[in-house]
Structure 1
Amino acid sequence: MYLKELQLTNFRKFESLKVNFKKGLNVLVGENDSGKTAIIDAIRYILNTKSFETIRFEPRDFYKPTKTTDDNPQPERADTFTIAAIFSDFSADEAAKFIEWGYFNEVKEFELRLFLKTKRLDNDRITWDIKAGPQGAELQMDGDAKTLLQVTYLKPLRDAEAEMTPGYRSRLAQILQSHNSFKKVKGTDGQYEKHELENIIEKANEEISEFLDGVKTKSTDHNSPNILESINSYIEDFRQIDDQREASVKIADPELHKILKTLGLELEENSSGLGTLNKLFMAAELLHLETDPFDALQLCLIEELEAHLHPQAQLRVINALKGISSKNGNQFILTTHSTTIGASISLENLILCRGQNVYPMWQGQTKLAIGDYKFLQRFLDSTKANMFFARGVIMVEGDAENILIPTIAELIGKPLHKYGVSIVNVGSTAFLRYSKIFQRKNLHEQGLSELDLPVSVITDLDIPVIEYFDYENKDKPEYYQVKEKSLTDNKTKSYCLKGIYDNIYASLDDLKAAIKSAISQTTMPDGLNKQIEGWRIKLDLNNIQAIRTAKFQTLKRKLDNQKVKVFTNKNWTLEYDLACSNKLRESFALAVQIAKKIKSSESYFDELFDEDGKFQIPYEIDQEADQDNTHEEIAYQIFKPFVDSGSPSKAVTAQIFSEILLLKKDDLVNKLESDSYLKYIIDAIKYACGEPEKEVQTNG
């Protein structure tokens, strides 16, 4: 069996929430205060833990609206909250233990539902009750059955050293006591037989006592009493006449439960670090899952798995948990703030907590196809995984944008770290795959809401300017544009192309793939190939703007969906468009020339900073653009180094340009805000930072 579903009503930040879990590994990710801990606490409140953590409800556990309305100007806390947990996939033996409270769902599967209801009374007194059964027919569940549903729980910022230290509250003792090998059994006479550990300790106590008998108070006087006799002589003077007790020395009290509390778990004789102790503690808890004699619920809750663990240790632990889950069928529900863990876990195991909802990332919940999952698992690294902990996301396709955008955001008063916005450099044009992570499938059919996370996709139009082909003696490319809203094959069957009408594609193969997708065919119907041959268009001055507009519309149709919005530049690339800008051209030209010198000699980079590390523009830098040329010719002269052999690094150019922007910020801030060539980037920043969609546009 496993925990299939959790339902919360008026619990903490959630007015109403349903969380679905999978068998095996479930990892809750999200920014701080996104509800991860509330979900974990709800589970342990309704099920209790094997380590018997104290459960104490507080008034703050009851939901209180954060927004005021005209009808409710002073919202108050709810008077009740409920938690329901639904279990599924029972074996016959498991179901037999809960037959009194279980039921069969609509697909004839045996399920068990637990229901916890709390009430807040006068003076903030809180009463609560747990029952089990289908909705409306709940019954009290007996203690033995509840025990079978207890969970293993590792709290956040756990004190592993204290948990593993011998003593009254020793967690190791609790774990060992639940194992059958540490249970005392009754003999034929009805009395408990001595456990083997008790015999071992008794024998050890006897040997210690024999040794101490020979230890004299005065080591030089063999006739002096031994140390225990001396101690008891003092005690005799201290005690009452009828008190006959005497002191003895023991390694441990020879009772099994007391022996177990004296045991400690360690990896080395020296004191271990917090990370090592944490791993030791987790290993002991996993042992408890494996050795539970009651065939109970195999569910483990771990908050902040990464506590005290460096990234490589995090990877080893999470991979071990994946292996354990796969091998033994344990269910794990984890929370994490670690991008390392977020990147190492398949999207199939992630649940994103955001706002008032949670969003499972597995198949059937997002718009990702099976191939997308495979692709993203290979390329989703810790840098990209930071998007799971963000309030907004900006996706870019290169290092230049990745470097430049934070500077622009800072200068326009939208520092990304203040707004919780993450930049994800996909390093390619695989935006469609990445963006689908944030798009929910079948929203209306399932009554679900969009993922409330603004995602800006910044990409170049990549339509080279005419000057490039003229100056470089290159052949102008051909594009393919869908010119009909329907096509008829040789059998007079009509196919609708309205969904891709007017789209432009870079190759004939791309066009055919789009048509086959639009008409839901795996091959092109007879006669269609010949009809689309005339859809070729060659780039020229008369149609370049139309091609750019059509390219933008194509990108918009592909990428714009739900909270994902695409933002593109005006012309070709970021660098070319900066070269076009009358307001920023001079500064960008300086950056290009400096980057060219760095390309020739990397040591030149050091000359750009004074002794205090402050950036300074070298005097010897020349601007090569001829100001008598046309606007387009000037722009191309500035941009031309990027198409020449030995071109400067775009990333270095962006870094230098960022330094120049910061150096001249007093003069350039207003220019940034009003520059039409950077408008798409500024709009993308504002959208990701939460500005209303209607106030930003998506094309520069």
Structure 2
Amino acid sequence: MKLVKLKLKNFRGYNEAEVNFQKDINCLIGRNDVGKSTILDALDIFFNDAKIEPSDCNRNAESKTIEISALFEVSGGNQIILDTTNPTSLQEEYLLNEDGLLEIKKEFLATGKTITASNIKVYIVSYHPETSEKPLITYKVNELKALLKEKKDEIENYEGINKLKKAELRKALFINSLNMNSEFKETPIKVSDIQEGGLNTWIKIKEHLPVFQVFQSDRNNSDEDKEIQDPIKAITKEVIGELEHQLNDIRNQVVNKVEAIGKQTLEKLKELDPQIANELKTIPELKNWDSVFKFKLDTDNEIPLNKRGSGVRRLILLSYFRAQAEKASFLDKGIIYAIEEPETSQHPNYQKMIVKSLLELSQKDNSQVLITTHTPEIAQMVAKESLILISKNQETGLPEIISDESARISEIIDTLGILPTIHAGMVICVEGSNDIDFLKNINSIFKDIIDFNECNISLYELGGSKLIDFINQNHFKESNIKEFHIYDGDIEKYKELVMSLNDDRRFGVTTKYREMENYIPIHIIEDYFDCDLQKFKEEWDTFNVPKYLADTQWLNRIPDYKKREKAIKGALNSRLAGRITKEALVQHNVYEEVEGWFKKIKEIYDTTVKKVEV
């Protein structure tokens, strides 16, 4: 599951708010005390049952009820055991919301001096068919049997339905009741109303949710410093995640035996006082496994770790994230890493290292990363879509999430003071990073015309999505920087774009062949991948080289298709492009075209301000 949205109501400074999350990395930006930490605290309360107090309720709230809702994207066949009879999917039970997301809402009644377990309610917010008085998931087995029996004459395979399993009974009722005219409505289903035997339903649901680990920027400077303990707790959760099935089997055995003995005890009590026995039942109150274990870090030079500098303690976090980034994944259900201000107490080099580690970690299938920051260097390393701006409304003074992109980007730039990084007299604009690799590699053949390493030229990918890309693009549009654009010839819109570029400052071309990969001679690709491509020789100028190779090569080495295609494109434009010679380009009938690119680049470069000053 991936967290895609957080909804808040009456929580601290937020009256109502929605935060949309990307599936990889998310960067919360805003001035001090604007409400960034509140977002992470809300998630910590939702996932980890962190402490919440009546004072956390918005002071202006009409209702003294705090709501924290988390919405998750689930895979098509996601199974979850909501009752002990048998597994079932959320889709089959109509437990997803109108957008097809698993929406779980926790309500906290904040009218007393404290918020206890009895003041907390958990709901699944579903888009549910109105086929019965209440959601079928809340019916007991005898009630389901009775409902089904009422429709006995309308059901063809009535005798073949397994009437001992509630999920099978519900499935039969849904099939029989739903049609094109059935009405659906948003229905909050209280988790405690989902009738089942054995374990607590909320704990069962939590077993399928991502693990949430938050690393806060404040330091307690105690023997149990959070900056030391949190990574150790996260590591503990990792190990528990690997052993969770075995631990849950043990837990189930304990619960079942306790319930069995409790049932025997109540039977004996009935012999003495039936009334008291009828009022009693065994309810397990279970804790998360990670709360059972506790570890400490010690140093071998007898200096307590909490007495070390704050920078050293924060480096523990850096080391933890770097270690995790090197691992493919460790939990089937995933993990969300949330870290406040990773730049705190760190040298700029370490800031970049930790963010690079977080970026790598966020690319793992089962990982998601949330960070808060005040540092422009960190913000400009992530995609624009990953930036979440929190600002105070000028009229109300309340925090709000800015969703309008132009306003959001403009205020982020203003808040962090991000400046462009393009300072060259000329930029060569391409579609992506692979095109940059290709041009850099074949430039070695044309160094007598122009050498990129000795010129004031930047190679820039217009397909980049980072915030700094947006800033850089606007920068050279408003400057006297000369631009040379080269795009793939297989896309019509690029041809139209290039035609509009030819003026005093900009010039563009499209490739005669399909894309850069087609300029790599066939024999170089055959030698590297040990394959035969001669049958495609006649159509090579339009042949989709990366796709064919992704369909036929490295299938066992990289099972995921997108990752395999990305890796193959990288190899083509770096290692293989570096093996191209002048003679190979001539034999491939593309030498004159490629030479023309570099001659035009040289012509434009000679007219730049930077060149003239030299």
Shorter-chain TM-score above 0.5: no
Structure showing greater Rg: 1
| TM-score, normalised with respect to structure 2 | 0.42
| TM-score, normalised with respect to structure 1 | 0.37
